[in-house]
Structure 1
Amino acid sequence: MRDEPLVPRVSPPFAQGQDVFDVIRAHDVLVHLPYESFGCVVDFIERAADDPQVLAIKQTLYRTSASPIIAALARAAQNGKQVTALVELKARMDEQNNIAWARTLEQAGVHVVYGIVGLKTHCKAALVVRREADGIRRYVHLSTGNYNPATARVYTDLGLFTAHPDFGEDTTALFNLLTGYAGGYKWKKLLVAPLDLRDQIVALIERERRHAQAGRPARIIVKMNALVEPSVIDALYGASQAGVTIELVIRGICCLRPGLPGVSENIRVISIVDKFLEHSRISYFENGGDPEVYLASADWMPRNFWRRIETVFPIADPSLQARIVGDILQLVLADNVKARELLPDGTYRRRTRVEGDPVTRSQVALQHLAREAAREGGEPRPPFVPIVRRPRSSGAAAEPTPLAERTRDSA
């Protein structure tokens, strides 16, 4: 049987054709790739490149391609804007491509930087600085995935558009860090590696442990590519022993052993391998009934904590939290078609469906969910133009009116 072809939907907030800056200024927007289109990210950069009110654009490029984003950044520089692109030359298997795109951008007048010596820049961020009637405003896009239209169709990722001032200040400080102009900045929203991200992650897990010991609601849900860091695994074991329910969706390497009596009996681990590469990093902490949700560019591995520039960013909007936890994570956790469970001995087995439970393939369900959301959100459709047939001439069959004429006549 063949799967239904993927047709990425326009994210509902952008579907009405409003100006992208008006939409983001009104409220935060979450985009779920590949089920929703990467086009809104391209539109964001292209609109900034051509908008005379935009003063500056800054963006990280880890894995890119022959992308409209490259052309937009070059055009922005030619339009007199201050444009900075941080190109990571050590992106595995994309080194040659990134060198070529860096040269192209430099020739167009873009300020190309290559990050901090000894650290790989793995965070995904874009910043647009714009002059508006009420002053200077910063628009930010943060993502779990790369600015690459090709992978955006086959990787599952989440991206956040926001004009919140704290995100704007933090993202400005991030680019100052990357370009060598950093001082003793106190982060308001972002958690940043290699500064103290590992310690902050352990602190969040420890907080859940304390909630459980005090009898308050305590739960951890994490979705990522790999779990390797020993200190984080020890913290998860401690939380499990305190009674915290822990559900992990780890696509690749997982060095934690779930279900060990007295150690990790409250931890469950699954891996999902399906037609799209599971690439998004999501963390949920129950926090005694005041939940916190984070998205990240980083897995919980030593290299991410100490040898890369990474960002973890909170999702504070209740409606976006509800979408991530109630829709995305619940469908992922309910998968009984492509999910495999990690056993205490380190082996995997295909999850067996409990009698009475519906068949759930999370990627297919999320594809259907995006389609329904686009319908409800008013995704633009081409206007219906009826076929008007010309009167028959003697002995000749009626001919359909050409489309151009039908459109003109109906205007």
Structure 2
Amino acid sequence: MANQFIDTARILVRAGAGGGGAVSFHREKYVAAGGPDGGDGGRGGNIVLTVDPHMSTLMDFRYKRKYVAETGMNGSGKRCTGKDGADLVIKVPRGTVVRDAETKEIICDMSDDKPFVLARGGKGGWGNQHFATPTRQVPRFAKAGLPGQERDVILELKLLADVGLVGFPNVGKSTLLSVVTRAQPKIANYHFTTLFPNLGVVPMEEGRSFVLADIPGIIEGAAEGAGLGHDFLRHIDRCRLLIHVVDVSGSEGRDPVEDFDTICTELEQWSPELASRKMLVAANKVDVMEDPELLERLRAHVEAKGCRLFEMSAATHQGTKELMYAAADELAHLPPILVFEPTFVERPPEVDTSAPLEITRDDDGTWLVDGPWLRQLMANVNFSDYESRNWFDKRLREAGVFDQMEAKGVTDGDLVCLYNLEFEYQK
């Protein structure tokens, strides 16, 4: 199990909640009516993703599915702000694509060394020092911290390789990888010897070396989940160049032309863009070829499709060097490795607005409105943005908040405090 390759995982992450504000009053000898000095709560810890170059699979996420960051500390007297919650750093392999579990939209592509904040901690609640006014000099209330963001995400590992080896099982892809790189994949004379992708660096002169990936054998129906292809076709997504390895020996009674077309069809069904990627064709096992006509038929077929064919034998190293130099020449003219752009759009969470709110009146006449769903709603509103404020006002009206307030006796001109937001009420 130690070598098991895991390339998808689903995890739940929750950033830390902010700490609560403090209710405190300044007490000092010979100082009368020192006033409120309750400090703010600390910010909750973020969930941060970072690339670990030593990780090659998502195995670590198979047994642990929930990650929660630290909560911010509560504020205290003397205007002391609570300590921020520690960020929780989650390490992932390079090339991990993070998707929203519900919409499948891409949140980020962890292909560089830059950390990414996946979920932000909640803001700390205000201490009572913020609520002092000329008419309210003794505010005996503070606010709780806001909850941290919560996300249900899918991690997908898409290998970062320049060139991908594709083809049916047992056509010699692993042997070719072992010959042209220092990788040591499992090699045997039976189908599906390779159960997970292998990577190796093809050494060339300075500036021309490239990463080669051996993808487990694809069979007919792979795009629909047959065999191993469905699990690993995603690893070809980033490859700038494909080398299609075809067995022309005739030892298994297969038709190379049919094999070539079958694999191309599977690539097309998986991703039309991938199928249009630049491809070189490697006619392997020419050293044990029984019928040269098979090779010539394949040559005519692939050249008619615009592909170059290279005769080779991975077992005897015949033609492998020429193939790698051709691949390096092609890469010099191809775009860099694909990095997936984020498509995820932050949407305000759905909240249960049916829960009753707590509406009370302070000694100085200020109305205090609070409730768990209201705090959750306000955590996702940018009050410096006009459209966000309008959206927030609309949600309050739809939830009947203003009706509840008026039923409690709130009238025009009254001062209302919604969490950290104060305003004069107007119908």
Normalised to the residue count of structure 1, the TM-score between the two structures is: 0.25
Normalised to the residue count of structure 2, the TM-score between the two structures is: 0.25
Q: As a proportion of its length, which structure holds more helix?
A: 1
